[in-house]
Structure 1
Amino acid sequence: MVSGYRVSSDSNEMDVDVIYSYISSSYWAAGIPKETLKKALENSLCFGVFSSDGKQVGFARMITDQATFAYLADVFIDEEHRGQGLSKWLMQRVHEHPSLQGLRRILLATRDAHSLYQQFGYTALGSPETFMQKWQPDVYKG
């Protein structure tokens, strides 16, 4: 727990405008259309970090079947609120969620937050030769 903040997985509390503002300018989803992001949120288990004044200051989502597999995506903490342990606390809350227990595999992709995720048991792919992808990095560039 971080004083002055709370984490919620109630989809009704997610501030789509705040999430869109951050995600649409991120290195991993720059230019994503708002309607596409809304659809992604609707089909994911979302987590928000909220300050004591109710403003959303962080976010993460799990794309999951809630039985065997999940993909962690779109994790962020607003720059003004960093350095207080919020990302670590958010990850704790995500991994404690009842719907995410007993999963065989959780994947994620990150360019710069390896040390955060390693604290939660994430490692580099053990057998990358078995993984494949269909990657369309310019899909949002119309």
Structure 2
Amino acid sequence: MTYNREGFSISNDESKVDVLRLKALLAGSYWAHDRDIDTITRSIKHSECFSLCDNDYFVGFARVVTDYSTFAYVADVIVDPDYRGKGLGKWLVDTVVNDARWKGQLMMLATDDAHALYERHGFSTSQKFMGINCR
């Protein structure tokens, strides 16, 4: 499925993931700055991925690890710093958490930042991780 908005798109087509750009984006994160390309490639293969693009230029990413029946874990949500402040992160998270494939499942994520972004999508803070969201 592909969603479009003002020249941007979000696609869950795995072939849209630009692995080298994703590595560069993750290198600027606190949680995956040292993740190697093989690990990134494996994580893509074993997840449902969402690519955010400006036309064909890869500018953001999120993935979901799920058993497709009871549990979905949101991971690696990232938007290129040059594209932040445009509502793209909100749109990406909204698209990910409202995907019908995990409706009714326990949804979780772990984060040290962007709590307000995730709270607006039903996640809440816990001592161990950010949020449990049964959708």
Same fold (TM > 0.5): yes
Output aligned runs, 1:1-142, within 5 Å.
Answer: 2-52=5-55, 54-103=56-105, 105-125=106-126
More strand as a share of residues: 2
The one-character-per-residue Cα deviations of 1:89-126 (angstroms, maximum 9, x if unpaired) are: 111111222212121x111111110000000000023x
Q: In 2, distance between residues paired with 1:24 and 1:43? A: 20
Give the deviation of 1:23 after TM superposition.
1.4
The letter of the residue matching 1:100 is W
Q: Is the 8 A contact 1:66 1:100 kept in 2?
A: yes
Structure 2: which 5+ residue stretches go unaligned? 129-135
Find the aligned partners of 1:65 and 1:15 in 2 and give their Cα distance.
Answer: 25
User: Which residue of the partner structure matches residue 133 of structure 2?
Assistant: none
Alignment partners' CA distance in 1, 2:87 and 2:20: 24
Larger Rg over CA atoms: 1
Deviation, structure 1 residue 12: 0.9
Alpha-carbon distance in 1 for matches of 2:22, 2:38: 12
- Number of matched pairs: 125
How has the CA–CA distance of structure 1 residues 25 and 79 changed in structure 2, closer, same or farther, with 3 Å as cutoff? closer
Q: Which has the higher contact order (CA 8 A, sep 6+)?
A: 1
Structure-1 separation of matches of 2:33 and 2:111: 15
Q: Report the Cα distance in structure 2 between the residues aligned to 1:95 and 1:40, rounded to whole angstroms.
A: 19
Give the whole-Å Cα distance in 2 for the aligned partners of 1:101 and 1:114. 22
Counterpart Cα distance in 2 of 1:90 and 1:61 = 10
Cα distance between partner residues in 2 of 1:4 and 1:32: 30
2:108 partner amino acid: L
| SS of aligned partner of 1:60 | strand
TM normalised by structure 2 equals: 0.86
